[in-house]
Chains A and B, each alone.
Chain A
Amino acid sequence: MVNYLVVLFAVTLVYFASAERLINYIRLIGLQGLLLCGIAIFELKEVNTANLIFIASESLIFKAILIPYLLTRIINRSGVTKVHRLAMPGFYTLIFSIVALLISITLAYSLTNSFVNIIYMAIALYTLFTGLLLIATHKLIISHLTGFLIIENAVFLFSLSIGNKMPMMINVGILLDLFVGVLILGFFGLRLRPHTNELTRLKD
């Protein structure tokens, strides 16, 4: 069951590369949160119940519900709907994404370890590369935020893979959500414009 969820998670990443609307990004982020919640429940069998409830509820409430809700509000307020106006065309992003998948699988096979499931390793690496790719190929800061959320999910997936042995690694990794909170605060509390692609006043 866990492997199915992990593979489904990888499918969302392929869809990220070809998506052209911000609302699809947000739906995918929400879906990833849901999948991570499921993976945590099925994977963390050796973790004590209280900790498991904390991890699962955190990923469900924060990653699957709260973040997508806040991102939707940001987009509704700004009226920006499409991402590729200012980014690399979807076709090329898709090719890069597939190359990243192949690299991840190759790397995962060369990193065979008795503590880590190879599927986890491959998909987590692919998630990391997708996040970095999204940041590198997009200009809208809201897309950058999405890229960071994907990297954060990669960290979560990595930490789940050793969660049974070292549950503290998951709990500590969850602290990354603090940054998400601060970045989203940039849009709400500090009125950063999500449609801007011109954070370029600071330069030499």
Chain B
Amino acid sequence: MTLILFFIFSAVMCIAIVLFKDKTITRIITIGYASMHILFTIYCWANLDKTELSYFTYNSLGVLLLSVLSFMIIPTLYHGFIYASADNSKRYSIYHAALIALMSSMSGAYLANGMTVLWIFVEATTIAVAALIYHDRTEIALEATWKYVFICSTGIALAYLGILFLGFIYGRKDASNLSFTALADIINQANPLYVKIAFVFVLIGFSTKMGLFPMHTVTIDAHSVAPPPISALISTTLMNVGFLAIFRVYTLFASSSILPFMNNVLILSGVLSLLIAAGYMLKAKHLKRMLAYSSLENMGLVAIAIGVGGGGYYAALLLIVLHSLAKSSLFYQMGQLSRVLHTFKLDECGRYMKLYPAGALVLLTGMVCILAIPPSGLFISEFMIIKGLVFNNKWFILLVAIILLCFVIYAMSTRILHIVFSDPLIDDNGRLPDRINPVESISQFVLLGIVIAMCFYQPPFLADMINQSFALLPKWLL
């Protein structure tokens, strides 16, 4: 009942925002939505493993990712209010209605307990995020939106084919919604070829959302034009939706004979993601695209971590959570950087420490965090992944991954240090920098502070939640 009320209220709020087209009312409704979302997340924590409406279960992994989204709602809305403040009422209301639709769709995807329902919510996220990418109404925004919808549509169609293959395995009327529990019972009797094909289709399809190779291009272009608060969501909570879909199917198939096949495919996909990320980051000339490639790199590491198994599962989930906090703070900062420097082009950026010291500090701290340099909490994850590769004797993968990570560290640190301390290479912008109150950066410092604190102390409730998230995997795998 609570869940259906959540969806009904979300829909009503979206409609109200579009109908009223008033900035003040939109703000009030959006803040109301944020409060409702946080309360709903608390309710989910209090009712772990409860099933509602047959199609949704408040399981650990879903609630963990829902909590990350809830945690990010207030900074996303805050930076969104600032970003969209110059818009007219109509555009302002469309932005916030689409944002609520996106957050509700992501919440539904996190809590879905079956493949078809999960898929429906993933489809809904695509439509909602398309409206947000097109927010600036420029030709380049149109190109990015069309590409995003087209590639996502193709990916989602392929993912649905994967789900249909699961249907072929089941083929009975008593599990029409393809729930994970119904499939888990019969997976070991299925033809392994069907299971392999289903996994490959699901991986390719949902990699459009996770931003993983081979469908990674879709999110890179979207980042170039999307408003920074939306980039923060695309690069974190929306990628988490893709991760969740792939990890659910992985968990489902882990007890079958195709486990080594899945691990190899994930490691291959992860290494190729790292390779592409490193290559493009070395020649990146657009700040937001560079951060998008950094997300590709992190998702590649997540894929490798799952492929490694054992401690890699914990590392993957910790990386997912901490990457969300660190990357979102960097994207929020991009919104402020564009107000100061009026550009995202690296050659035109510079002297940021002088122009906006608080922002420069966020960039430097964010760089340390996202590159997993101690005291970043991401260091713990990456260390565990490296440990897993050593224990599994995957020396070649380890070597390749470390070399590629070195390239990533070099590419990102030289560019960020250039923005912060150097003069711009091209200085023909002609516009005076805006002044920003450092208070606006507080939320970014809080998020980065949490990422750093996690390097020294991971609260037991979080560690328990992460451990429970992969508890459905066969015990001998852990």
The finding on whether chains A and B are genuine partners in a shared complex, rather than unrelated, reads: yes
A182→B156 CA distance, assembly (Å): 14
Chain A residues, Cβ within 8 Å of B144:
202
- In terms of DSSP, what is the predominant structure of the interface of chain A? helix
**Residue of A111, A115, A152, A169 with most partner-chain B CB within 10 A:** A169
Residues of B contacting A128 in the complex (Cβ-Cβ under 8 angstroms) = 161
Contact, CB under 8 Å: A151 / B176: no
Of chain B, the residue at the smallest CB distance from A116 is B168
Q: A166-B171, A172-B119, A172-B120 are in contact. Are A186 and B142 (CB under 8 A)?
A: yes
User: Which size bracket describes the interface of A in this complex?
Assistant: 35 or more
B158-199 contacts to A, CB under 8 A, are: 158, 160-161, 163-164, 167-168, 170-173, 176-178, 191, 193-194, 197
Given A113-B191, A168-B176, A204-B289, CB of A183 within 8 Å of CB of B149: yes
Could you tell me the distance between the alpha carbons of A101 and B286 in the complex, rounded to whole angstroms? 43
Chain A residues with CB below 8 A from B156, complex form: 176, 179
Q: A167 to chain B: which residues have CB within 8 Å?
A: 176
Q: Which residues of A contact B331 (CB under 8 A)?
A: none
Q: Which residues of B contact A178 (CB under 8 A)?
A: 123, 127
Contact B171 A113 (CB under 8 A): yes
User: Interface-forming stretch among B228-236, B277-285, B392-400?
Assistant: B277-285
Nearest Cβ in chain A — how far from B119, in angstroms? 7
Interface residues of A in 112-166 (CB under 8 A from B): 113-116, 128, 135, 141, 144-145, 148, 151-152, 154-155, 158-159, 162, 165-166
Q: Does A173 contact B (CB under 8 A)?
A: yes
Q: Given A165-B172, A201-B143, are A155 and B157 neighbors across the interface (CB < 8 Å)? A: yes
Please give me the residue from chain B that is nearest to A145 by CB atom. Answer: B150
Query: Does A190 belong to the interface (CB within 8 Å)?
Result: yes
Other-chain residue from B126, B130, B157, B170 in contact with A152 (beta carbon distance below 8 A): B157
Tell me which residues across on chain A come within 8 A of B140, comparing CB atoms. Answer: 201-202
Asked if A49 is at the interface of the complex by the 8 Å CB criterion, the answer is: no
Residue A48, interface by CB 8 Å:
no
| Docked-complex contact B168 and A173, CB < 8 angstroms | no
Could you list which residues of chain A lie within 8 angstroms of chain B, going by C-beta atoms? 110-111, 113-116, 128, 135, 141, 144-145, 148, 151-152, 154-155, 158-159, 162, 165-169, 172-173, 175-176, 178-180, 182-183, 186, 190, 192, 199, 201-202, 204
User: What are 15 A-B residue pairs whose CB atoms fall within 8 Å in the complex?
Assistant: A113-B171, A113-B191, A144-B150, A155-B164, A162-B171, A168-B176, A168-B177, A172-B119, A179-B127, A179-B153, A182-B130, A182-B153, A190-B142, A192-B142, A202-B144
